[in-house]
């Protein structure tokens, strides 16, 4: 039956309100977090990055996330490196795994065994959300097809992430980020020239698929509040990348142009991009004619043949060279100060050491301190969302939990399931 209107979070719950109490002890269930998704239980069957990132986003919003891993080494990313960081016993921990598994519990289950499948079934019965990124057909062979999952729990929202879609002529292809970046056209837009297609420096297809999946889950939970039933949410690395083609996509679908890479400069706005100062690099964004009319006279660039953006884009090479020549007369700090006084958006190109020591980064709650079960206190990049009632610098949750060690919470989860079933 449809859930009763009222508290939105109550409508998200699977109807087991007293089975999520805290447990004590080092390997225990995480303390019930605050946040908009507090009370939502997520079972995360995914590995690598897209699914784990989606699950982490839901955990950042207050959901309880139970990560189900293989007893044989756990999530693939536990072995991805270097870099690895050793604990006091010499065990190596992957920084890749640490990047996408905060605010989760870990239980190791052999899903090819009767016991492992039985424990998963009990988790599914109590879950609000299940996340998986197996190749199409794998869950079916394990006895957990979408139909069987909804027989166990009609209110379950399932997020299924694949490489190229769950159907279609190439739906069975495995999905790895760089392959998807190439196949989905992103590499053809990125780099210095068409002869040097370049991958984005982070696994952007995985990350975008995780983000799309997380917002699809939240929408499905909201819908379930009215219908009383869950549904399957699907996305893929292909869909995630095509979904952010933005104006480059309509250049082809509407104008019939095939976009090519333009290096550190914008294909549709000029000047907009990367330039040299006397001691480094700066970026500017002259994104309107009003900005150009302030910028150009200040640097001796107010030529009639460059008075409009289409003219400047058509003559981009010359505009870029002229701006670069003017900028090389200034040290970066002086140049950025002058641009700021003109109201022209500009900035440096920071490496990650500079980003993570930048006070602005810290002021936004983008670094969090957690206590890892094996490594002790560590610093992680934090969640990107804040809500209006947060104190200054606070993130969505009042506190965060470190990424778990393999099966760290297995005993406490099994205890919770036994007590809930008694």
Tell me the catalytic residues. Answer: 206
Q: Could you write out the DSSP letters of every residue in 342-389?
A: HT--EEE---HHHHHT-HHHHHTT-EEEEEETTTEEEEEE--S---TT
- Residue 287 contacts residue 338 (beta carbons within 8 Å): no
Q: What is the distance between the alpha carbons of residues 374 and 403, in angstroms, rounded to a whole number? A: 10
- Residue 128 contacts residue 40 (beta carbons within 8 Å): yes
Q: What is the distance between the alpha carbons of residues 136 and 141, in angstroms, rounded to a whole number? A: 10
Q: What is the distance between the alpha carbons of residues 79 and 92, in angstroms, rounded to a whole number? A: 9
Question: Assign residue 232 a region: left if phi > 0, alpha if psi is -120 to 50, beta otherwise?
Answer: beta
Dihedral angle, C-alpha 217, 218, 222, 225, nearest 10 °: 60
DSSP 24: -
Q: What is the distance between the alpha carbons of residues 50 and 46, in angstroms, rounded to a whole number? A: 8
How do the residues of the chain divide into helix, strand and coil, expressed in percent and rounded to 5? 40, 15, 45
**For 238, phi and psi rounded to 5 degrees?**
-60, -50
Q: Could you write out the DSSP letters of every residue in 104-150?
A: -EEEE--TTSHHHHHHHHHHHHH-SEEEE-PPTTHHHHTT--HHHHH
- Residue 66 contacts residue 43 (beta carbons within 8 Å): yes
Torsion over CA: 90, 94, 98, 99 (sign)? positive
- Residue 270 contacts residue 319 (beta carbons within 8 Å): yes
Nearest to 209 by CA among 415, 361, 57, 367: 57
């Amino acid at each position: 039956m449809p859930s009763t209107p009222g508290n939105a979070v109550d409508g998200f719950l699977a109807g087991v309100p007293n089975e999520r109490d805290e447990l004590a002890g080092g390997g225990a269930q995480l303390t019930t977090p605050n946040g908009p998704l507090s009370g939502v239980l997520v079972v995360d069957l995914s590995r690598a990055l897209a699914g784990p990132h989606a699950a982490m986003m839901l955990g950042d919003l207050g959901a309880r996330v139970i990560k189900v891993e293989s007893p044989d080494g756990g999530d693939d990313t536990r072995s991805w490196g270097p870099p690895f960081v050793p604990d006091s016993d010499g065990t190596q921990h992957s920084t890749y795994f640490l990047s996408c598994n905060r605010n989760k519990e870990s239980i190791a289950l052999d899903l090819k065994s009767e016991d492992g499948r039985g424990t998963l079934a009990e988790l599914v019965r109590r879950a609000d959300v299940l996340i998986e990124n197996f190749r199409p057909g794998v869950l079916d062979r394990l006895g957990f097809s979408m139909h069987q999952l909804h027989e166990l729990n009609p209110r379950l929202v399932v997020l299924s992430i694949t490489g190229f879609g769950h159907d279609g002529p190439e739906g069975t292809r495995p999905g790895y980020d760089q392959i998807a970046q190439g196949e989905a056209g992103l590499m053809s837009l990125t780099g210095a020239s068409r002869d040097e297609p370049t991958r984005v420096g982070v696994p952007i297809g995985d990350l975008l698929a995780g983000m799309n999946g997380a917002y699809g889950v939240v929408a499905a939970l909201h819908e379930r509040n009215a219908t009383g039933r869950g549904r399957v949410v699907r996305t893929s690395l292909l869909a995630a990348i095509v979904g952010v083609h933005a104006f480059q996509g309509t250049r082809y679908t509407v104008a019939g142009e095939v976009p090519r890479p333009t290096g550190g400069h914008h294909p549709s706005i000029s000047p907009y991009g990367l330039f040299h100062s006397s001691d480094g690099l700066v970026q500017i964004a002259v994104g309107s004619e009003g900005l150009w009319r302030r910028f150009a006279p200040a640097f001796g660039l107010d030529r009639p043949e460059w008075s409009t953006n289409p003219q400047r884009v058509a003559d981009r090479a010359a505009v870029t060279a002229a701006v670069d020549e003017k900028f090389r007369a200034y040290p970066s700090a002086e140049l950025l100060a002058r641009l700021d006084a003109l109201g022209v958006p500009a900035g440096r190109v920071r490496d990650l050491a500079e980003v993570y020591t930048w006070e602005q980064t810290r002021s936004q709650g983008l670094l969090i301190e957690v206590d890892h079960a094996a490594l002790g206190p560590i610093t992680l990049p934090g969640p990107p969302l804040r809500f209006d009632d947060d104190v200054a610098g606070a993130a969505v949750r009042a506190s965060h939990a470190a990424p778990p060690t393999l099966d760290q919470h297995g005993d406490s989860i099994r205890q919770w399931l036994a007590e809930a079933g008694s």
